[in-house]
Structure 1
Amino acid sequence: MSIFNRVMLKDMTEADLPLVLSWRNKDHVRNMMYNNDIITIEQHVKWFETIQKSPTSLAKVFYVDERPYGVVNIHQIDHNNYTCEWGIYIGEENTPAGLGTVMGYLAIQYIFYELRLKKIHAEVLAFNQQSYYYHKKMGFEQKDVLKKHIRPDGTFIDTIVFSLTITQWEQQREAIQTKIEQKFKENHLQ
């Protein structure tokens, strides 16, 4: 069975909040965020309520075999210019290699073919090499470096700006899908 028959993105619900909060506060997630503070349940609920009311934001939970593994945040959705920003993370630790790529693939497909947008923007903290190479692997193009852009721990750091257009995606989507299928077949996870 294809890995793509075992995965899905579901709208985040109130029932997901305790799990998502626990992921968000894990060091491997929190330390890569613009706001790397420990988030309280009250702050988390307020964030979720804001997302629920916003016509320009969506939050999804990534599932494999009905088990939640990560989060996709889509924000600054602009239906006039057909653009959005995204942020994603795998919350579970010790997951099979490649699940982040599967999650990103699903999210990109959703953004381009369900939301019918034409461009995705992303910002990556300069020290987050894993996210930097992830975005390159998924076909994103580096557009800019915002020098000394944010100060999560008192020291200003650079942010790298990426974008991916639907045209760029369509040129490499099949190759990325094939690599994903092959990886999961080789690892006997299909």
Structure 2
Amino acid sequence: MSVRLRLVEAADSARLLRWRNSAEVAAFMYSDHQISQAEHDRWFAAAIAASDRRYWIIEADGEPVGLANLARIDLSARKCEWAYYLGEPSTRGKGLGAGVEYIVLRHVFESRGLNKLWCEVLAGNEAVWKMHQSFGFVREALFRDHVLKDGRLQDVVGLGMLKSDWDAARPAIEARLRRLKGRGLAPEELPDAP
């Protein structure tokens, strides 16, 4: 299964609202209310126009399956944050997240030349923050009682990766992804083995 990212287009708007309002995605977002069409339209217009954000549709074998984004892109400080979700339940647990992570890391550190990428993950979403750590992210923070979800306060894990972390981790990550490629899953951007 090939994994690639493409820029979000106007035709993706309805799909994004459906994904974002699904229980499977909303469970891991900071807000858990049903997003109205008007609220979504305002967000979508701002997201497409913003210069400090980038949004991509995650595609698996050419089919849209999720959303990845960079936010708070700060070129002067050479840093940004990121997030992603898989909107199609049938794609979860199959290694797609690893492919997305690799593509984003290469984009941030190699194409954009940034020095730091960070993210925040609900502490209860252990599979995701552990996956980030397996790529070389370092746990930098625990934000206690940071988000109100389902009527209770929840902790958030803050993770960061520096360009030097990426440089050190990249060979092992690429070896791991080549093994996935042998099982039929890999990002299209995975270089050939040296």
The TM-score normalised by the length of structure 2 is: 0.88
Alignment map for 1:65-104 (pairs within 5 Å): 65-95=61-91, 97-104=94-101
Shift of 1:128: 1.0
Which of 38, 43, 61 is 1:42 aligned to? Answer: 38
What one-letter code is carried by the residue in structure 1 that aligns with 2:170? R
Shift of 1:26: 1.8
Residue 151 of structure 1 aligns to a residue whose secondary structure is strand
CA contact (8 A) 2:96 2:185 kept: no
What one-letter code is carried by the residue in structure 1 that aligns with 2:23? D
Check if 1:55 corresponds to 2:51: yes
What one-letter code is carried by the residue in structure 1 that aligns with 2:118? H
Unmatched 5+ stretches in structure 2: 187-194
Unmatched 5+ stretches in structure 1: none
RMSD over aligned Cα atoms: 1.6
Shift of 1:146: 1.0
What one-letter code is carried by the residue in structure 1 that aligns with 2:117? I
What one-letter code is carried by the residue in structure 1 that aligns with 2:38? E
For residue 115 of structure 1, what is the aligned residue in structure 2? 112
For 1:120 and 1:55, how far apart are their aligned partners in 2?
17
For residue 132 of structure 1, what is the aligned residue in structure 2? 129
Check if 1:159 corresponds to 2:147: no
CA contact (8 A) 1:98 1:180 kept: no
For residue 190 of structure 2, what is the aligned residue in structure 1? none
Q: Percent identity?
A: 28
For residue 179 of structure 1, what is the aligned residue in structure 2? 176
More relative contact order in 1 or in 2 (CA 8 Å, sep 6+)?
A: 2
For 1:104 and 1:24, how far apart are their aligned partners in 2?
20
For 1:158 and 1:21, how far apart are their aligned partners in 2?
26
For 2:78 and 2:5, how far apart are their aligned partners in 1?
21
Check if 1:30 corresponds to 2:26: yes
Shift of 1:189: 4.8
Shift of 1:59: 0.7
What one-letter code is carried by the residue in structure 2 that aligns with 1:155? R
Between the two proteins, the alignment pairs up a number of residues equal to 185
For 2:132 and 2:17, how far apart are their aligned partners in 1?
24
| Residues 180 and 80 of structure 1: CA distance in aligned 2, closer, same or farther (over 3 Å) | same
